[in-house]
Amino acid sequence: MIPFLDMKSVYAELKPELDAAYARVMESGWYVLGKEVEAFEAEYAAFCGTKHCIGVGNGLEALEIVLRAWNVGPGDEVIVPSNTYIATWLAVTAVGAKVVPVEPTLGGPNIDPERLAAAITPRTRAIMPVHLYGEPADMDSIMAIATRQGLKVIEDVAQAQGSKVRGRRAGALGQAGAHSFFPTKNIGAFGDGGAVTTDDPAVADRLRALRNYGSRVKYVNIERGFNSRLDEMQAAFLRVKLKHLDRWNEQRRAVAARYNDRLAGIPGLVLPRAPQWAEPVWHLYVVQTARRTELVQALDKAGIGSLIHYPIPPHLQQAYADLELPKGTFPLAENLAETVLSLPMGPHLKLEAIDQVADVVRRTLAAG
Ligand SMILES: *Cc1c(COP(=O)(O)O)cnc(C)c1O
């Protein structure tokens, strides 16, 4: 049996540190917005290379709260990828703004800067690139367009903590970065969590109020805010895990390299290929094949987990039926939805397991 993602090995590896963090928080008697959150925010900002980090409840709220802090709302347009997890779109529509979806580049999962430039209108306020599967979007091109047009850029870093573009970390490339610490992410909490990174002190200040009922001073509410706070326990766990993130991402890189080697030259199988300037962190290892159903069945039978990220693009979800974007509107995203398959990936995946997965893939696609 090879699970899609091995969640238990992290606890096994870090048990003494995590248990100590647990005890420290339990004994402190303080559980929301305290010393652990403050320390994690400082450490995570330093890791990303930003001046500020604001811990929030989850990744979706990190995206939404930034749009709120920028006063993006009804009448405004936000450019999003057509190929993404639905959370990216949900943040935009939650503030009452309009999503303007843009197709990915031909060879990759991420938003195409050329198409993005063509989608800008006088109502465009912000661009929300996603670093999907841990592969950074083309931020040099996106930032050049945004600067020229006076637009703000918020990176969706949920799948790409630690990734870099020419040595600079995701989350420090736009005006703000939204991070998720959902347990399966490259740095995950043991529950929900999220954060915003930014260099802008005024936005950071407003986000700190917005996440806490719009309040800076207890019981004084300067605006209508959220309750979206990272808690002390999750922050304490994240401080432990942050120390290992670069090493784990390194291990993911080794897994991807092994897959690339073992899966090379299989007819009908497209392997992921990151651009030269990108340093991906392999949140997922996503292959493409027209014979996906067959392959999933074969993997299943061999006891190997696989998942589809994502089977239905946001514009075809019932949740967005009112936007009236029928099948055929975004053919590249639709094609990806029909052909992508994520193979087991994680820092604790053994080389023998990778070889086993590759054997099944090769045997299945070589036959028939
Ligand atoms: C996980 C994820 C989110 C949302 O994060 P949550 O913490 O689950 O709210 C947003 N965008 C992308 C691309 C994600 O993968």
Residue 362 has pLDDT above 80, yes or no: yes
Express as a percent the part of the chain with pLDDT over 70: 100
CA distance 341 to 364: 14
For residue 59 and ligand 1, the question of a CB distance below 6 A is answered with yes
Domain extent listing, the chain: 8-242, 245-366
- pTM of this structure: 0.97
- CATH H-level, domain 245-366: superfamily: Aspartate Aminotransferase, domain 1 (3.90.1150.10)
- Domain at 8-242: CATH code: 3.40.640.10
Would you state the pLDDT for residue 357?
Answer: 98
For residue 89 and ligand 1, the question of a CB distance below 6 A is answered with no
Sign, CA dihedral 124-128-129-132, equals: negative
CB-count exposure of residue 60 (10 Å: 0-12, 13-18, 19+): buried
Which positions ≥6 away from 218 have C-beta within 8 Å?
none
Residue of 53, 48, 247 lying closest to 162 (CA atoms):
48
Q: pLDDT by residue (tens digit) across 131-166?
A: 999 999 999 999 999 999 999 999 999 999 999 999
Average pLDDT for residues 32-36, to the nearest whole number?
A: 97
CA distance 168 to 184: 24
Mutate to test the pocket of ligand 1, among 61, 64, 132, 159 (most ligand atoms within 8 A of CB): 159
Would you state the pLDDT for residue 107?
Answer: 87
CA distance 90 to 64: 8
Q: How far is CA 83 from CA 56, 191, 252, 301, in A?
A: 25, 26, 23, 29
Distance from the alpha carbon of residue 85 to the mean position of ligand 1, in angstroms: 7
Residue 127 has pLDDT above 80, yes or no: yes
Two tokens at 70?
Answer: 């920028």
Q: Using CA positions, which residue lies closest to atom 10 of ligand 1?
A: 87
Q: pLDDT by residue (tens digit) across 287-346?
A: 999 999 999 999 999 999 999 999 999 999 999 999 999 999 999 999 999 999 999 999
Average pLDDT for residues 270-299, to the nearest whole number?
A: 97
The whole-chain average pLDDT of the chain stands at 97
CA distance 178 to 65: 9
Would you state the pLDDT for residue 360?
Answer: 98
Q: pLDDT by residue (tens digit) across 52-92?
A: 999 999 999 999 999 999 999 999 999 999 999 999 999 99
Lookup result for tokens 């347009």? 77
According to DSSP, residue 130 is labeled B
User: Phi, psi (5° rounding) for residue 34?
Assistant: -140, -150
Would you state the pLDDT for residue 368?
Answer: 66
Would you state the pLDDT for residue 367?
Answer: 81
Would you state the pLDDT for residue 321?
Answer: 98
Distance from the alpha carbon of residue 60 to the mean position of ligand 1, in angstroms: 6
Ligand 1 atom nearest to 85, measured from its CA: 13
Distance from the alpha carbon of residue 194 to the mean position of ligand 1, in angstroms: 9
Residue 205 has pLDDT above 90, yes or no: yes
3-class DSSP assignment, residue 294: helix
